[in-house]
Amino acid sequence: MKKIQFLICLLFSVHLAFAQPTEKQIKVQVSADHPDWLYKPGEKVNFSVLVSKNGSPIPQVKIRYEIGPEKQEPWKKDIQVLANGSMQLDGGTLSAAGFLRCIVIAEVDGKEYRNLATVGFSPNLVQATVANPSDFDAFWDKAKQDLAKIPLDAKMTLMPERCTEKTNVYHVNIQNFRLGARLYGILCVPKKTGKYPALLHVPGAGVRPYAGDIANAEKGMITLQIGIHGIPVNLDPSVYADLGAGILNGYPTYNMDDKDRFFYKRVYVGCVRANDFLTSLPQFDGQNLAVTGGSQGGALSIVTAALDNRVKYVGAYYPALSDVTGYLFNRAGGWPHYFDKNSRAVNETKAKLETIAYYDVVNFARRLKVPGFYSWGFNDETCPPTSMYAAYNVISAPKELYLALDTGHWNYPEQVEKMTNWLTNNLIK
């Protein structure tokens, strides 16, 4: 029973960031009158609303809706009864680059059903708001120099129950940013003798175990999926639940008033340390290394590729930690929303603003030099598209963006397939 529970948790961890929401019998559909959901500033948008059951409109259904810039106070709220289950809503416009959102909640048989549509106004013109410190590069060069002084001290434990005919699977831990601090992960290595490319998986937010990426290892690559909390990633699921609700609750804000002690410093250099381990393996081909992840992992993918010139390709879904200061300029900022209306009073201090500039994804995106594949949707309420475009727009390296407009903080299978194919085609030549 314990093994079954563990495997279920592992499967959940793989799909956590990418799982499509469960289908419902009653659906609220919200769409825009431009099929690409793109507008020019000053151009009017009309939203269409349809509430249906088994594909047929529901008559006399009551809705309430709100329209306004994403993650900001709506400028329009109303309640309507849809005689024929559908209606058009005047969405107005934006005068500058950004995103406008319409949220609709329908009430059917005493239960509420919610959906939204978010349209972009010249998103490629969204500009970053976060400061770009003059000593940014010196700060991170020093951090990497300090890391290089710490012995790797790698330890690998074979996991026979996870191994396949083609792949060996290991629970690994290596020394991270200081003596005694460890970084844990699941390593998958093809059994066949040879040299292989490597793929580093960096994690989304939260505290959980990991299964490792056996599927891509079976294709002929080394994969390493890491955690960031300095704890083994193969423990009983209850351990992670306890830590997530306890000592690690709120970890993204730890030591935010000190750029040298901020929580994410150990995380960012830990991703570089993971590459130290991958590139030390005798099976590594010495050339082809990529990094990928979603949300917090999307952020870490960009950060790692910018910090480590051994990385040749980056694949990022909806990167978090992007232009987090947007809220200070009356627009959406990135997860974890340090400066939104609920957190601004606590976090808007000189020390914290100084710290965050060294960790914002925008400033790493400016420094990217390798090809990247990126994917997100306009309806993401966790990582607002305004914040992600602020980072994407400063990338000068080769880049490709695959949009799945109506997705929120999740992926369609087609997105995952395109990302996987892009990474595989670049790594396995």
Q: Which residues are catalytically annotated?
A: 295, 380, 409
Location of structure tokens 């809503």: 89
CA 35, CA 29: separation in Å to the nearest integer? 14
CA 94, CA 122: separation in Å to the nearest integer? 10
Cis amide leading into 336 (omega within 30): yes
Largest CA distance in the chain: 70
Q: Where are the alpha helices (DSSP H) in 95-201?
A: 136-148
CA 127, CA 304: separation in Å to the nearest integer? 23
Q: Return the axis-axis angle of helices 263-280 and 296-307, rounded to nearest 10°.
A: 60
**Residues 6+ positions from 281 with CB-CB distance below 8 Å:** 189, 198, 222
Check: CB of residue 399 under 8 Å from CB of residue 392.
Answer: yes
Indicate if the alpha-carbon torsion angle 336, 184, 366, 417 is positive or negative. Answer: negative
3-state SS, residue 331 = coil
Ordered DSSP codes for 109-144: TTEEEEEEEEEEESGGG----S---TTHHHHHHHHH
> In angstroms, what CA-CA distances link 424 with 37, 192, 216, 263, 288?
30, 18, 8, 32, 11
